[in-house]
Amino acid sequence: MTDTLILSQFVSSDGTVIPQHITGLCKKQHFRVTRAVSLAQRAGLIPKKSGTPVFGEWEKWNTYFKKF
């Protein structure tokens, strides 16, 4: 899946994937949606869960950009 509007239907307001028993998807399709949502969140197309680090510990390896 590449359509973020379709993927956003399976994401709650806090950024978590809606459980399988609520969506009514089979196990295989729910796994695919979960994986697609995760990839879209990593790409910045869908908002992540609150409290999730954006880049992790990237600042110690970054020599070109200094945060002021």
- Which residues of the chain are under the pLDDT cut of 50? 68
Q: Are 15 and 41 in contact (CB under 8 A)?
A: yes
8 A C-beta contact, residue 1 and residue 33 = yes
46 Cβ contact partners less than 8 Å away, ≥ 6 residues apart = 4, 7, 8, 11, 15, 37, 40
CATH code of the domain occupying 4-60: 4.10.640
Q: Give the pLDDT confidence score for residue 10 in this predicted structure.
A: 93
pTM greater than 0.75 (yes/no): no
Euclidean distance between CA atoms 1 and 33, whole angstroms: 8
Show me where the domains of the chain are located: 4-60
* Residue 43 main-chain phi, psi, to 5 deg: -80, -10
